[in-house]
Amino acid sequence: MIMFYKSKPSMEGLNPVKIIREALAETLVYYYPYAGRLIEWPDNKFMVDCTAEGVVFVEADASVGIDQLGDTVQPPCPYPELLVSDVPGSDGMIGCPLMLVQVTRFKCGGFVLAIRFNHVISDALGSLQFVTTMSEMAKGAPTPSILPVWKRELLTARNPPHVTHAHPEYEVEGKSIIPSSLNDKNLVRRTFSFGPKEIKTIRKNLPAEVRSASRFDLITACLWRSHTRAIQFDPDDDVRIMCMVNVGGKNCLDLPSGYYGNAIICPAKVSKAKILCESPLSYAIKLVKEARRQATPDYSRSTIDFIATKERPKLTSPWNFLVSDTSKVGFDEVDFGWGNPIYGGTMYGGTLHYMVYARYRNQKGEDVMVVPMTLPGAVMERFEDELRILLCDLMKNSSSLSPIMVPSKL
């Protein structure tokens, strides 16, 4: 997670490093498990040993102004090693610090706050809760506005486990052969941006039954279909769309306010690769919507029980297209006294089969959905072609044709 802050006249002379370091120390009083270390118990279970050893904090300075970074503040960050230092012994799992925090001051008076969380402890909303408490402490609050709740037992499996649904998100493709296109280890990262004009034009050229689909559904369907065509799966391969959904809210598991553990499930829908690639976009949109709608209380409990019957089943595989939408989480609204960041959210944007969506406000003041993609070079070229063809086909009858924005290849 990373946040870029511009200078603010009323904060001139104040040191963001000192303020954030002290706020971090105060926050760890309430979120004391983060100051501990992971240990592994029998049955491959992780537990936190609350040793109070603390987290890693790094102070750094940059010789440029934050405005000079331009659009490179959006993911994927082209200079991650400068904003998140590679501190020896800080990035392991067992017996290592559970968090690394780095504050980098810029010569203009702005700064960057980057935090590497251990995902075993918190999901995105839990991490936001921690950072929000830091911002409150930085501005002088005596206590957090929301007190943290540990209670991981709320999401333990039933005894005995009671799996009531099929869970294709965890199925392993046993018969299919990994496409040769994925053997190339020369990976490239590119960012694709979808603004209001693109979304509006795509929507108005869809059949009426899917025209009300959300921005997330539209973008995900476009990307999944283009991604599948670019990789060139065997036509009979089963491919899956998987959407990360937080199920801790009142409409699902109703976890207590302040709970900051992982409350994420990844419901999936399956299609034959040939059917997905040859069907209209509306087919993919319907599958994306159906995947998300599966996130009910019963499905969530079934997922917990299913995982308990397996040994850490894997979510990612070449046949899975896993998507996490962090655009509305709220990292871009965390104020340490310098106002909201010009960008706040994911730093990297995912991996080969895992996409993280972020929100970025462009120079026109528009909210843009930013999607960093990582693919082998040849696959990326085909992906761009497929996405361009798809969008042109959708918009060929539109008077408001606007091509998708493809920023720098950094």
Q: How large is the average pLDDT for residues 373-400?
A: 82
- Looking at 41-45, 50-54, 80-84, which range is the least confident one? 41-45
Rounded distance between C-alpha atoms, residue 111 and residue 104, angstroms:
5
pLDDT of residue 404: 47
For residue 406 the two structure tokens come to: 């493809």
Provide, rounded to the nearest whole percent, the portion of the chain with pLDDT above 90: 72
**Of 71, 91, 238, 335, which is the active-site residue?**
335
pLDDT in tens, 217-242: 999 999 999 999 999 999 999 999 99
Q: How confident is the model at residue 201 (pLDDT cuts 50, 70, 90)?
A: confident
56-61 and 45-49: which strand pairing? unpaired
Active site residue 335: yes
pLDDT of residue 393: 74
Tracing tokens 């331009």 back to the chain, one arrives at: 70
pLDDT of residue 405: 46
Answer with the residue of higher pLDDT: 332 or 395.
Answer: 332
pLDDT of residue 145: 97
Provide, rounded to the nearest whole percent, the portion of the chain with pLDDT above 70: 95
Preceding omega of 33 cis (within 30 degrees of 0): no
Taken in order 61, 65, 67, 69, is the CA torsion positive or negative?
negative
Residue 193 in this model has a pLDDT that exceeds 60: yes
Residue 132 in this model has a pLDDT that exceeds 80: yes
pLDDT of residue 107: 93
Q: Which residues contact 68 (CB under 8 A, 6 or more apart)?
A: none
Distances, alpha carbon 224 to alpha carbons 96, 227, 228, 256, 363, in Å: 36, 5, 6, 34, 28
**Of 49, 119, 236, 393, which is the active-site residue?**
119
Q: Residues of CATH 3.30.559.10 domain(s) within the chain?
A: 2-151, 168-328+346-395
Judge whether 36 and 309 are in contact, CB under 8 Å: no
What single-letter amino acid sits at 333? Answer: E
CATH classification for the domain delimited by 2-151, as one of 3.40.50.720, 3.30.559.10, 3.30.160.100, 1.10.760.10: 3.30.559.10
Q: How confident is the model at residue 315 (pLDDT cuts 50, 70, 90)?
A: confident
pLDDT of residue 41: 85
**3-state SS track over the chain:** CEEEECCCHHHCCCCHHHHHHHHHHHHHHHCHHHHCEEEEEHHHEEEEECCCCCCEEEEEECCCCHHHHHHHHCCCCCCHHHHCCCCCCCCCCECCCCEEEEEEECCCCCEEEEEEECCCCCCHHHHHHHHHHHHHHHCCCCCCCCCCECCHHHHCCCCCCCCCCCCHHHCCCCCCCCCHHHCCCCEEEEEEEECHHHHHHHHHCCCHHHCCCCHHHHHHHHHHHHHHHHHCCCCCCEEEEEECEECCCCCCCCCCCCECCCCEECCEEEEEHHHHHHCCHHHHHHHHHHHHHCCCHHHHHHHHHHHHCCCCCCCCCCCEEEEEECCCCCHHHCCCCCCCCCEEECCCCEECCEEEEEEEECCCCCEEEEEEEEEEHHHHHHHHHHHHHHHHHHHCCCCCCCCCECCCCC
Taken in order 168, 172, 176, 180, is the CA torsion positive or negative?
positive
Residue 398 in this model has a pLDDT that exceeds 50: no
Q: How large is the average pLDDT for residues 306-331?
A: 89
Residue 102 in this model has a pLDDT that exceeds 90: yes
Judge whether 61 and 86 are in contact, CB under 8 Å: no
pLDDT of residue 401: 37
Judge whether 113 and 101 are in contact, CB under 8 Å: yes
For residue 200 the two structure tokens come to: 């509006």
Residue 410 in this model has a pLDDT that exceeds 60: no
Active site residue 119: yes
Q: How large is the average pLDDT for residues 47-66?
A: 95
- Looking at 215-229, 250-264, 347-361, 368-382, which range is the least confident one? 347-361
pLDDT in tens, 60-70: 999 999 988 88
Residue 55 in this model has a pLDDT that exceeds 80: yes
What single-letter amino acid sits at 87? Answer: V
Query: Which among 299, 192, 206 has a CA at the least distance from the CA of 245?
Result: 299
Query: Which among 31, 84, 80 has a CA at the least distance from the CA of 60?
Result: 84
pLDDT of residue 205: 85
pLDDT of residue 175: 59
What are φ and ψ of residue 286, in 5° steps?
-60, -40
pLDDT of residue 298: 97
pLDDT of residue 408: 43
The per-residue pLDDT of the chain, averaged, comes to 91
Specify the length of the chain in residues: 410
Q: Which residues contact 391 (CB under 8 A, 6 or more apart)?
A: 198, 202, 222, 403, 404
pLDDT of residue 7: 95
- Top CATH class, 168-328+346-395: alpha beta
Q: Which of 82-86, 293-297, 389-393 has the highest mean pLDDT?
A: 293-297
